[in-house]
Amino acid sequence: MSEHYDVAIIGAGMSGLSAGIRAAHFGKKAIILEQHNAPGGLNSFYAKEGRKYDVGLHAMTNFVPAKERRAIFNKLLRQLRIDRSELDLIEQKSSRIAFPGANLRFGNDEALLESEVERVFPGQVDGFIRLSVAVRNYPDAAISQPYQSTRKWIKQFISDPLLEEMLFCPLMYYGSAVEDDMDVGQFVVMFRSIFHEGLARPAEGIRLLIRVVLDRYRKLGGIRKMKTGVKQLIAEGGKISRIVLENGSELTADVVLSCAGLPETYALVDKALVPDQSKLAGQLSFSETIAVYETLPETWGWGDDTIVFFNNAETFSYRNPADPIDLRSGVICLPNNFEYGDRPLGEGLVRVTCLANHDTWCGYSDEQYVAAKGDWFGRIQQSILPMMPVATRQYAEDLVATDMFTPRTVKKFTRRARGAIYGSPGKVKDGRTEWGNLFLCGTDQGYLGIVGSMLSGVVMANEHVLKG
Ligand SMILES: Cc1cc2nc3c(=O)[nH]c(=O)nc-3n(C[C@H](O)[C@H](O)[C@H](O)COP(=O)(O)OP(=O)(O)OC[C@H]3O[C@@H](n4cnc5c(N)ncnc54)[C@H](O)[C@@H]3O)c2cc1C
């Protein structure tokens, strides 16, 4: 006899946990099935040589003050019954888009970016203001429309190619599954969440957020099975009738929400049904280096930059690179350089994210892989030196620990096809599949990032578990 649930959720990432909370809160019998032994999915944490590391978190987007009750972030927390104070959020200082010959700063007050555009691109500021208004007024219904190119749409507002690239850079790095372009709906969502709203992080990092979400789910009676991969979804009569687990057992559910991704979910039903794997699987993966220093960035002369989105090439390229890693652009995040005030921080941290080629990293033998990691770690650190303050050039002496992940790491721990953090370029915005009770949730439903994936969990549970 297999157990029966109102809803079975594949994946204990941020979308799955959020969907679980909504379902369990309304008395639904919910189970979350996770192949890995740690919760959080792409946004997880681990310990190495006695030191704690976050995997995903640079910053949470959509940060607004608590009084803005109608803002997405506050609505999301209310839907999940999470008190903001539990997250102990610390705001960014300010961030920067750094291109050859031009820098634009932005922060949690949207006026900063507007004044920076006026300073650096005086002829473009009217267009920028019109763009910002158009983004604010963009109808919610249009966000869920099929893909539309932002490259074409943005031309009615911005005519300077450099400003266009500079605006794209952070929005693509923090949320585009499409090479060198973005869906207009996704651009609008990312513009609002980063430029209109802002960035913050839980004081203690991602583990605090995950602990809060897990506690909520557990207290509501939700069931979670870790190291329990879903092997197959059996379809009968247009519905998923049975869920076969990798441990050999089976269960049934009225509704199945899959956070595993679009091609990954279709492959669980029938590999032959994946419409066109090469088109559906994401093209974009990343590597990240993590360097831990004895000293804090301010002692090296590092100022207020919390995150730097940089491009050193003549044109900004956001695509799967030919080299194992594209050193020409990336994101430098200093997780301890938020507004921590007087709180003791201990060590300095620098994370550098760059585009990386999945096929190369996954094609290496184990020995080649270790050697390539060592080699590229050094090259990445070298490549960011020109962006560091002069005093920072000596910072290597303070280095106490390092780590690095690659597309191979992402694939191994999350099973994302091609290690694609932002999933498939083809999003299914209503979450529906060709099986009546199977819905996509999270990244491939089209909501990206931590807040986005949590929102997707809430929306999909509301639509398909609570209403259905
Ligand atoms: C290095 C890095 C930095 C990031 N930085 C930020 C940031 O600063 N801010 C931000 O907002 N976002 C960031 N993100 C993105 C953010 O982490 C993701 O967009 C978000 O967490 C995706 O959540 P999800 O629930 O959709 O998917 P996932 O987190 O991928 O969750 C899916 C889960 O499904 C599980 N699964 C897959 N297949 C199966 C199966 N067959 N059976 C059982 N379980 C299965 C996986 O193990 C996984 O746990 C970052 C991501 C990475 C990797």
For 250, the 3-state DSSP assignment is strand
Cβ(33) to ligand 1 under 6 A?
yes
Inform me whether the pLDDT recorded for 420 exceeds 80.
yes
DSSP string, 373-413: HHHHHHHHHHHHGGGS-GGGGGGGGGEEEEEEE-HHHHHHH
Q: What is the pLDDT of residue 2?
A: 73
Residue in the block written with tokens 């509704």: 255
Tell me: the pLDDT tens digits for 283-307? 999 999 999 999 888 888 889 999 9
Q: What is the pLDDT of residue 390?
A: 67
Phi, psi of 224 (to 5 degrees): -135, 125
DSSP string, 333-380: E-TT-BS-TT----SEEEEEEEEE-HHHHHHS-HHHHHHHHHHHHHHH
**For the chain, which residues make up each domain, given as ranges?**
3-85+204-279+424-466, 106-196, 283-413
Is the Cβ–Cβ distance between 465 and 6 less than 8 Å?
yes
What's the CA-to-centroid distance between 283 and ligand 1, angstroms?
Answer: 16
Average pLDDT, the chain: 94
Is the Cβ–Cβ distance between 394 and 444 less than 8 Å?
no
Residue of 43, 232, 308, 427 with the most ligand 1 atoms within 8 Å of its CB, for mutation: 43
Residue in the block written with tokens 């996704």: 186
Tell me: the pLDDT tens digits for 176-226? 999 999 999 999 999 999 999 999 999 999 999 999 999 999 999 999 999
Q: Residue 267 is encoded by which pair of tokens?
A: 């492959």
Among 174, 143, 150, residue whose Cα is nearest residue 445: 143
Among 81, 458, 423, 422, residue whose Cα is nearest residue 257: 458
Q: What is the pLDDT of residue 126?
A: 98
Tell me: the pLDDT tens digits for 88-147? 999 999 999 999 999 999 999 999 999 999 999 999 999 999 999 999 999 988 888 888
Cβ(15) to ligand 1 under 6 A?
yes
**Count of CB atoms situated within 10 Å of the CB of 36:** 19
Q: What is the pLDDT of residue 392?
A: 62
Cβ(186) to ligand 1 under 6 A?
no
Cβ(170) to ligand 1 under 6 A?
no
Phi, psi of 248 (to 5 degrees): 95, -15
What's the CA-to-centroid distance between 414 and ligand 1, angstroms?
Answer: 7
Cα–Cα distance between 217 and 212 in angstroms, integer? 9
The percentage of residues in the chain with a pLDDT greater than 70, rounded to a whole number, is: 98
Candidate CATH numbers 3.30.420.10, 3.40.50.300, 3.30.420.40, 3.50.50.60; the one for domain 3-85+204-279+424-466: 3.50.50.60
Q: Which helix (H) or strand (E) holds 439?
A: strand 438-440
More confident residue, 49 or 268: 268
**b (16+ CB within 10 A) / e for 14-23:** bbbbbbbbbb
Is the Cβ–Cβ distance between 228 and 245 less than 8 Å?
yes
Inform me whether the pLDDT recorded for 397 exceeds 60.
yes
Cβ(305) to ligand 1 under 6 A?
no
Ligand 1 atom with least separation from CA of 457 = 25
Cα–Cα distance between 42 and 450 in angstroms, integer? 9
